[in-house]
A and B are shown apart, each in its own frame.
Chain A
Amino acid sequence: MPAGSTYTPIATTTLGSAQSQVDFSSITASYTDLVLVMNTKGSTTNYPFLQLNGATGTSYSTTTLTGSGTTATSVRQTNTANPYLSSDAANTTDFVFNAILHFQNYSNTTTFKTVLIRANSASTGTGATVLLYRSTAAIDTITLKLNTGTYAIGSTFTLYGIASA
């Protein structure tokens, strides 16, 4: 885990009303990596997915290693517009869901971007996902969407920046 004075909050949101998506925009390029921590509940059982820089096309792929509590599986998504944080860890109607997302080297303009995700729901499952966003653009907007329903009041989202120097 990162440590010291380089772990800096960029923005934080605690929902005062239900929202179908949460956006972090105008993200500064002045850090090396980003970490996003979310602790949420849903209006109904739903599944969060990620959108970067507003890209709605099929420019994402994911590989997930996941456990439902009874079965361990690995799941692939390719050429998808809805890259899910997890296939088992659901955002249920109580505060059981959390996820920690790591965006390494997010602001470079040379390479495609990968995101390392740990997602947890003690009601439905746990696992890790690697996400590929096939774009060399610096990430300046992160959007957390849902396949259905909303994030409920009280859900929290915090974006941290990590500077290497």
Chain B
Amino acid sequence: MPNTFELIASVTVPSGGQAAIDFTSIPNTYTDLCLQLSLRNSRSGQVIQEGLITFNGSTSGYSERILRGSGSAAISSSGSGANFSLNGFPAGSSTASTFGSANLYIPNYAGSSNKSASAEFITENNATEAYAYMNALLWSNTAAITSISISAGATYTWVQHSTAYLYGVKNA
């Protein structure tokens, strides 16, 4: 049987943190991409903080629809702009040693149509404020995705022990 779910690259954030996690030179030999994240933001005084995702270094064409549950209510919102805002991941005021998990699936990442993606992610926290998210993502750009950046935003960093794994999925 062919192995069609392959690790392309991974990052484990070292001591001192890292402002962004970047995957570059992504080959076009797969059909889909799957990104698995375990992240915690350094921002102090905040329970959650967004992660900003961009493709190919582009700062335009991103839009999303968001469904968020807080444990007591569900809301939906939308956004567009210079990146995908996955808001959020645990930050400085969240329970220590708690990291947020995210799964992004990007079908036809090397195709010639606009790029849609699916995302689920969660923040957990041994306190009232915690969330679960589902996002529909669209990058209105026909270029093949060759790089992915996951930024902690502004002057913040992903803390030590944060991880990111990028997998390629082949349909043949």
Q: Does A22 contact B (CB under 8 A)?
A: no
17 contacts between A and B (CB under 8 A): A1-B34, A3-B167, A6-B1, A7-B3, A9-B4, A9-B170, A9-B171, A12-B171, A67-B65, A67-B67, A67-B74, A67-B76, A96-B114, A122-B63, A122-B136, A125-B67, A127-B67
B154 within 8 Å of A (CB atoms): no
B8 CB → nearest A CB, Å: 13
* Besides the known contacts A71-B76, A100-B105, 20 further A-B residue pairs in the complex with CB atoms under 8 A apart: A1-B5, A4-B5, A65-B67, A67-B67, A67-B134, A69-B65, A72-B69, A89-B136, A94-B114, A118-B134, A120-B136, A121-B116, A122-B116, A122-B136, A122-B138, A123-B63, A125-B76, A128-B134, A154-B113, A158-B31
A12: chain B residues within 8 A (beta carbon): 31, 171-172
A97 adjacent to B116 (CB under 8 Å): yes
The answer to whether A32 has its CB under 8 Å from any CB of chain B is: no
What are the residues of chain B within 8 A of A70 when measuring CB–CB? 76-78
A39 at the interface (CB under 8 A from B): yes
CB contacts under 8 Å to B, within A88-112, are 88-89, 94-100
**Structural contact, A125 and B167, CB atoms closer than 8 A:** no
The reply to whether B114 and A126 contact each other, CB–CB distance below 8 Å, is: no
Q: Establish whether residues A7 and B75, one from each chain, have CB atoms under 8 Å apart when the complex forms.
A: no
Q: What 10 pairs across the A-B complex have the smallest Cβ distances?
A: A67-B76, A67-B67, A122-B138, A120-B136, A69-B78, A126-B136, A7-B5, A72-B74, A95-B113, A39-B107
Knowing A67-B134, A98-B107 touch, does A5 contact B1 (C-beta < 8 A)?
A: yes
Contacts of A37 in B (CB 8 A): 32, 105, 107, 169
Most chain A CB atoms below 10 A, which of B1, B34, B77, B107: B107
Residues of A within 8 A of B124 (CB): none
A87 at the interface (CB under 8 A from B): no
Number of B residues contacting the other chain (C-beta, 8 Å)?
A: 43
- CB neighbours (8 Å) of B31 from chain A are 12, 156, 158
Contact between B117 and A120, CB atoms less than 8 A apart: yes
Determine whether the beta carbon of A65 is less than 8 Å from that of B64: no
Check A100–B118 contact: CB distance below 8 A.
Answer: yes
Interface residues on A, range: 35 or more
Query: What's the Cα separation between A9 and B116 when bound, in Å?
Result: 21
CA distance A9 to B6 in the complex (A): 13
In the assembled complex, the Cα of A158 lies from the Cα of B74 at a distance in Å of 32
Nearest chain-B residue to A94 (Cβ)? B114
Q: Are B65 and A121 in contact (CB under 8 A)?
A: yes
Q: With a CB–CB cut-off of 8 A, which chain B residues contact A41? A: 113
A contact residues around B65 at 8 Å (CB):
67-69, 88, 120-126
Closest to B135 in A: A126
Q: Which residue of A lies closest to B118 (CB)?
A: A120
